[in-house]
Amino acid sequence: MNILIVEDEQDIRELLEIHLSKEGYKIYTAEDGVQALDIFDNKDIDIALLDVMIPKIDGFKVLKKIRETSEIPVIFITARDEESDKILGLGLGADDYVIKPFSPIEIIARVKAQLRRYYKYSNKNHKTGIKIGELMLDKECCGIYKNDVEVALNPKEYRLLEFILENPGKVYTKKQLYEIVWKNPYYGDSNTIMVHISHIREKIEIDPKNPKYLKTIRGIGYKMEKNHD
């Protein structure tokens, strides 16, 4: 597995490289956004660890460019702990957001978890299909379509919508959805689910503020409406 580490602080970059190399990963490093995108374009990268505050092109813009062509896991590792930054990063398609200072052991665990989930859900050994209204889930191709046009989803959005489509009419709390999709304990951070639900609605609903598919059940959670004329 190839890991791209994008970090302008040499000590942190080398710390990550040392610990992840010991786990058997091949490491590519970049000090700024231009280097990062050059490596991404020319190497077969499986996961990226990305700082936000990097020279030339910031981490948010690097993530946007990555998401134009790839759904590889991306973990932000940053000193920016404002909730608005976390929401922005997740909304742009990041899979995880870690605040500095961090434990190398924690980073290793998060990298392994993201790679495991990504390749599990990228396999093609599933049977096709579920159709609800204009939406169709094709598990064989790991794709979700609206009126036969594929909906552009990042890995977390896909897994979340896939699960809800597979269980139409059932109401799930934010806690249930977080623990099912992220497979981590839920500590009350509802914004992660809210951001992903909001972005999914923008992609599948005609009127995201008045959704006909992905419904909010006030005070409880969310469900996929199963009856569509």
Estimate the crossing angle of helix 190-204 against helix 155-166, to 10 degrees: 80
Average pLDDT rounded to a whole number, residues 55-60? 96
**Tell me, what's the pLDDT at 80?**
86
Tell me the two tokens of residue 105: 């052991």
Query: How far apart are the C-alpha atoms of 183 and 146, rounded to whole Å?
Result: 27
| C-alpha distance from residue 20 to each of 3, 75, 108, 217 (Å) | 9, 14, 7, 43
| C-alpha distance from residue 179 to each of 86, 125, 160, 163, 185 (Å) | 19, 24, 11, 12, 6
Tens digit of each residue's pLDDT (9 = 90 or more) over 100-113:
999 999 999 999 99
Strand-strand pairing, 130-132 and 135-138: antiparallel
Q: Is the pTM of this model over 0.85?
A: no
**Tell me, what's the pLDDT at 125?**
39
**Tell me, what's the pLDDT at 206?**
93
Query: How far apart are the C-alpha atoms of 79 and 172, rounded to whole Å?
Result: 33
Under a CB-based contact definition with an 8 Å cutoff, are residues 79 and 50 in contact? no
Query: How far apart are the C-alpha atoms of 74 and 169, rounded to whole Å?
Result: 32
Tens digit of each residue's pLDDT (9 = 90 or more) over 133-151:
889 888 766 789 998 888 9
Average pLDDT rounded to a whole number, residues 36-44? 93
Could you tell me which of 71, 69, 18 has the C-alpha nearest to residue 48?
A: 71
Strand-strand pairing, 221-224 and 135-138: unpaired
**Tell me, what's the pLDDT at 140?**
64
Residue 127 has pLDDT above 60, yes or no: no
Under a CB-based contact definition with an 8 Å cutoff, are residues 160 and 176 in contact? no
Estimate the crossing angle of helix 33-42 against helix 59-69, to 10 degrees: 20
**Tell me, what's the pLDDT at 139?**
72
Tens digit of each residue's pLDDT (9 = 90 or more) over 187-206:
776 688 999 999 999 999 99
15 three-state secondary structure = helix
**Tell me, what's the pLDDT at 83?**
87
| C-alpha distance from residue 151 to each of 51, 88, 131, 155, 222 (Å) | 28, 21, 14, 12, 20
